[in-house]
Amino acid sequence: MERRDFLKKTGVAAAAVAGTAVSVPAVLAKEKTYRWKMVTTWPPGLPVLQIGAERFAKRLEEVTGGRIKIQVFAGGELVPPLGVFDAVSGGTVECGSGASYYWAGKVPAGQWFSSVPFGLNPQGINAWFYSGGGLKLWEEVYAPFNIIPRPQGNTGVQMGGWFRKEMKSIEDFRGLKMRIPGLGGKVVAKAGCAVTLLPAGEIFTSLERGVIDATEWVGPLHDLRMGFYKAAQYYYYPGWHEPGTCLEVIFNKKAYEELPKDLQAAIDAVAMETNLWSLCEFESGNGAALEELITKHNVNLVQFPDALLEDLRKLSEETLEEEAAKDPMSQKVHEAFKKFKKQIGGWGTVSERAYYDVIIDKYSLKKE
Ligand code: CA
């Protein structure tokens, strides 16, 4: 090793003297400290999400012995929250953190990599990314924008949302004013819902004043923090529209490719680790927060009626087909997603579902 390093160093010196252009050899790249900037779509201090982005940076610095240092900026600190994709694409910053459905207007096919109504749960979407070709396809979708994506987190199955009235059938969506983003928003719009997109800071006040009748947010951990239980009587489940939303960390292609191979590998490994960490934080945090909402705040926890969910499922299928038909890449991703969902569906029925059916009584949510 030492002899090879020596030869490389002397080779570089000779080339430099001769004025020949050389690429930075691995030995010099290993001595270099990379100082990067990351911008995120999240508010400062947002549990698991902004904290997850900061954890990613910290862990990467740890595992690389300080060879890569990333300064993390929350949404609005360096660029607007929804300016993250452009900032990374254009090379203003080296990396960013958010969710791919935020860029639906720019990259419609990207939506399938964050959340699909009645789509894959966290286990399923991770299986698709790492073992089913999903990540390769995601890379292909972002390639024209000079961006390399990695899954960086997962919210777990979200909640259906907070409603100021009971939801008995699909008809109850007609005329309802609801804050719900993404493909889920398109689905309820088909049912006659007036969909609004409010920034995080305006949702509670709008719900409390009746400007909107309903909102979805994330899960109990984040919903408790927002205080929605003070503004709406009914807390519905399940989050059919976001059954396992994947969060992303994205890299400017040039910046990523300039890194030595071992740092690229470190990035990939830490992203995967953060993905797992995030899901664990959501699972444990949601469990505790749900109990607090029920026991301390007497929240009326309600399951959507089966018939209402079935109607939403039909509308979702129509919506997905329509959205996919809008461009060839969306169609390609949609077909791949459907194929993988079908592939694991049968197994899920005899494993996860059958197991939950057996243990369901032990986790009954009925108030004592
Ligand atoms: Ca949500």
Instruction: Indicate the pLDDT class of residue 31, thresholds 50, 70 and 90.
Output: confident
> How many residues comprise the chain?
368
Q: How far does the centroid of ligand 1 lie from the alpha carbon of residue 219, in Å?
A: 8
Residue 360 confidence class, pLDDT cut points 50, 70, 90: confident
- Both tokens of residue 216? 């979805």
* Portion of the chain with pLDDT greater than 90, in percent: 85
305-326 pLDDT, tens digit per residue, is 999 999 999 999 999 999 999 9
Q: How far is the CA of 46 from the centre of ligand 1 (A)?
A: 14
What's the CA angle centered on 184, arms 179 and 186, to 5 degrees?
85
Query: For the residues 277-292, what does the mean pLDDT come to?
Result: 96
Distance 118 CA to ligand 1 centre (A): 14
Per-residue model confidence (pLDDT) at position 201 = 82
> What mean pLDDT is predicted for residues 17-40?
71
pLDDT for res 21? 47
Cα–ligand 1 centroid distance for 253 (angstroms) = 29
Judge whether 78 and 37 are in contact, CB under 8 Å: yes
Dihedrals phi, psi of 168, to nearest 5 degrees: -95, -35
Rounded distance from Cα 346 to ligand 1 centre (Å): 27
| Gap from CA of 218 to ligand 1 centroid (Å) | 4
pLDDT tens-digit series, residues 75-101: 999 999 999 999 999 999 999 999 999
Distance from the alpha carbon of residue 209 to the mean position of ligand 1, in angstroms: 21
**pLDDT, average across residues 134-152:** 98
State what percent of residues in the chain have pLDDT above 70: 90
Model confidence at 29, in pLDDT bands (50, 70, 90)?
low
* C-alpha of residue 71 to centroid of ligand 1, in Å: 27
Q: Does residue 255 carry a pLDDT above 90?
A: yes
In a domain, 104, yes or no: yes
Residue range 113-124: average pLDDT? 97
**For residue 257, what pLDDT is reported?**
98
Q: What spacing in Å lies between the alpha carbon of 216 and ligand 1's midpoint?
A: 6
Per the domain annotation, does 307 fall within a domain?
A: no
Q: How far is the CA of 76 from the centre of ligand 1 (A)?
A: 20
Band of pLDDT at residue 199, cut at 50, 70 and 90 = confident
> Across the chain, what does the average pLDDT equal?
91
CATH number of the domain that 75 lies in?
Answer: 3.40.190.170
**49 contacts 19 by C-beta, under 8 angstroms:** no
Q: Is residue 223 part of a domain?
A: no
Domain that residue 135 falls in = 35-155+244-283
Predicted local distance difference test score (pLDDT) of residue 362:
58
pLDDT tens by residue, 53-71: 999 999 999 999 999 999 9
Burial class (CB in 10 A: 0-12, 13-18, 19+), 110: buried
In a domain, 59, yes or no: yes
Q: Is the pLDDT of residue 221 over 70?
A: yes
Q: Is the pLDDT of residue 141 over 60?
A: yes
Q: How far is the CA of 296 from the centre of ligand 1 (A)?
A: 24
Q: How far is the CA of 158 from the centre of ligand 1 (A)?
A: 6
pLDDT at 313: 98
Distance 161 CA to ligand 1 centre (A): 8
pLDDT by residue (tens digit) across 162-191? 999 999 999 999 999 999 988 999 999 999
Is 62 within a domain? Answer: yes
pLDDT of amino acid 116: 97
Residue 182 zone, left/alpha/beta (φ > 0; ψ -120 to 50; rest): left
Q: Residue 21 C-alpha to ligand 1 middle, in angstroms?
A: 50
Q: Is the peptide bond before 238 cis (omega within 30 degrees of 0)?
A: yes
- Which residues are within 5 Å of ligand 1 (an ion), measured at CB? 158, 242
Whether residue 132 is contained in a domain is answered as yes
Confidence at residue 27, expressed as pLDDT on a 0 to 100 scale: 60
- Tell me whether residue 205 is in a domain: no
pLDDT at 200: 80
Token pair 């960490």 is found at: 277
Q: How many domains does the chain have?
A: 1
- Given a contact cutoff of 8 angstroms between Cβ atoms, the answer to whether 122 and 154 are in contact is yes
Q: How confident is the model at residue 7 (pLDDT cuts 50, 70, 90)?
A: very low
| CA distances from residue 274 to 101, 192, 366 in whole angstroms, order as listed | 20, 39, 34
Distances (CA, A) of 19 to 15, 26, 263: 6, 20, 29
Answer whether residue 352 is part of any domain.
Answer: no
Q: What is the pTM of this model?
A: 0.89
Q: In terms of Cα–Cα distance, which of 110, 98, 226 is closest to 159?
A: 226
Q: How far is the CA of 41 from the centre of ligand 1 (A)?
A: 14
The neighbour count for residue 114, using CB atoms within 10 Å, is: 26
The rounded Å distance from CA 61 to ligand 1 centre is 31
pLDDT above 80: residue 17: no
**In angstroms, what is the span from residue 169 Cα to ligand 1's centroid?**
21
Instruction: Give 264's contacts (C-beta < 8 A, 6+ positions apart).
Output: 256, 257
Tell how far the Cα of 69 is from the centroid of ligand 1, in angstroms.
Answer: 31
Q: What is the pLDDT of residues 124-137, one digit of tens each?
A: 999 999 999 999 99
